[in-house]
Structure 1
């Protein structure tokens, strides 16, 4: 971020607006899913949990950033940094797992429609959610425990955003095991869900092109469009920042990466689903007008 005092109020208002839009948008998705009985199906169950996770993920960094800008103190101490890294790993990991679970949901809905309700029962949906949280927590604990083994020659102060790579780079002790764990865990933890998403949509596309009904094809593509847009936004933002040759300064790279990972996708997800999904648009319209609450009370 900039050190120019004249730009600080503008940056503060920008991030405050983004944060409020993120909270409001995702909260509306959750309320719409809970208020409208027609949305009580696995797809919207996972979507509401994705929205809850997006709220939590955004809240791990943006409030601290706003406080830093307001107090003009741009540093995060070691304990706060480690806590922030831990929560980002958990909620970022949940996002990763939930996108894979939602791809599996789309696969069952389109490729096995007659068995959809049987396969994705309420208990199985909760199990997938708990399993995603468990995997994300284990992934976080691996890195957090290993990070606690690091020793530092000076007090660790990182500007604005904390990432695990920053902590490792600032350590004075041997970081070979930590670096190896980062790359190994990333390849497995992110590679497996991405492979699952690709496999699911390969089957979905194959199944859709075998449909004789044009209306059925359009509905299938419309159903998958929202999820695919979110997938491309989440993974595309991550890969784009990490592979960009133009970002060479480490602090700038970390700030941009945090914005891309934790601000933009989480803010855009509610808009993508509300604009591209007919059922969600109807539910949100009813929610804003108060009809679902009248229905539930009647």
Structure 2
């Protein structure tokens, strides 16, 4: 039984799981407790149940952050959320063995810098938002985002430049998916081919206005396209971050956001704990039960 609570750790973990993983609101949680378990749990009692998680959630998040600060490759993304009707930003930071969520009032680069402290990973993976730049020694831009810009140029009427860029980037992504089957020397040759082909494409004159805008973007990001062809552990896209943050987007749409600052921080902690646990094969419900029982430790 959680200290100060009349309810056992199993009920507490289940309520947190249903709320944060399945977006069940407090009113429905109260009804579920009564109809399934014969328990009378008011919405206020559920709120108090979650509030008591704050100390253990903060400790777990600190441990997860410590693991993140040892990572050589970090991928990151951010999305809007709402707290007390005010727009805020939820950031996600992913490495091979840790997932850290942070809800902040800003979208500025300083949020990521506060998380990183003095740590500077070898590679940072993100989209091309300015607040995600200059955070690693190298930067792999998300090619899925680049391809969206390319498609926009095609849809705007550029049929001479953008389609060639699209085909080339798709080819490099396909190569990236086969990296575990490719020898180092062959991968190096592919990386050189990727660079040389892109150099040749951007050297051509571009007539269409949308194509010229795309050309300018590509030249600005030129050195950040093919890091994944030189480092086998770097993804070509930032899809892992988008997948990690998507459940919180759904949560926001279903619940209309958070009604308290502590609720927002509990959600960020929950997503950090369950996201990190998933990397080692542990389910969200099992991880949050370990947290409530004081047994959670990042693998």
Query: Shorter chain as normaliser: what TM range?
Result: under 0.3
| Structure with bigger gyration radius | 2
The structure whose residues are more often strand, as a share, is 2
TM-score by length of 2: 0.28
